[in-house]
Amino acid sequence: MRLRNITGSREVIAQSPFVVGEDILFQCPGTWKEIFGNDRPVRIEIGMGKGRFIHTLAKEHPEYNYIGIEKYSSVLLRAIQKMEAEELPNLKFIRMDAEDIVKVFAPGEVDRIYLNFSDPWPKDRHAKRRLPSREFLARYDVILKKDGILEFKTDNRALFDFAVEELEPAGWRAQVITYDLHGDEKLMADNVMTEYEEKFSSLGNPIYKYVICR
């Protein structure tokens, strides 16, 4: 998702109390407990878009701390606006390319990772940029605690098939795989819809999901 460039979005982000600034980002590994002021587990969404999913989770689960990570300022701005409308003490945002994720969290510092409707990067030569690729799984392997899990949802079958194929070579395994999330009553019990999920499921697209661990 890349919204039209919004004038001043970088300035708003730089001044927002909800965003951990780029200037201090690489000093953050191992300090997230201090940043939140408590030692609750930290859960992150990579590529959060406009932030509906993580804002809802943070509201429903004050027992966790949440961090939404988004590459584009114009998109992050929408998540900031949601926080301005309803402030939550257990949610922070980072504007960054997730390629650098291991520079922001200490080994094992993250309790859970969410990927939702990640960009498909359909060309083979761009496979490394896909967030569920083996290159990214190797990064998640560093920051995610030993018994932590990663949840991934998408409506893109080619991306989902690719993501499933990446698991074994990357040393991960699936705890759950479904090719029809919305038809699974048990999995839907605690499902939180994302903006893309609402859009594509309303068009009749099936939603695919896995939950993986090492």
119 binds ligand SAM (CB under 6 A): yes
47 binds ligand SAM (CB under 6 A): yes
- Residue 40 is given by DSSP the state P
Q: Is 119 a catalytic residue?
A: yes
Range 184-213, binding ligand SAM (CB under 6 A): 194-197
Q: Which is nearer to ligand SAM, 11 or 97 (CB)?
A: 97
Name the token pair of 202: 């309303």
Please, which contacts does 121-128 make with residues 24 or more away whose CB atoms are closer than 8 Å?
122/158, 127/162
30 backbone φψ class: left, alpha, beta (φ>0; ψ -120 to 50): left
1 binds ligand SAM (CB under 6 A): yes
> Cβ of residue 33: shortest distance to ligand SAM, in angstroms?
23
Residues 140, 105 contacting (CB under 8 angstroms): no
Pairing of strands 144-154, 208-213: antiparallel
> Cβ of residue 102: shortest distance to ligand SAM, in angstroms?
13
Residues 81, 117 contacting (CB under 8 angstroms): no
For residues 172 and 69, give the distance between their C-alpha atoms in angstroms, rounded to a whole number: 23
Q: Which is nearer to ligand SAM, 68 or 148 (CB)?
A: 68
98 binds ligand SAM (CB under 6 A): yes
Number of residues that bind ligand SAM (CB under 6 A): 21
Q: Which residues are catalytic?
A: 119
Query: Which positions touch ligand SAM (CB under 6 A)?
Result: 1, 46-49, 69-72, 75, 97-99, 116-119, 194-197
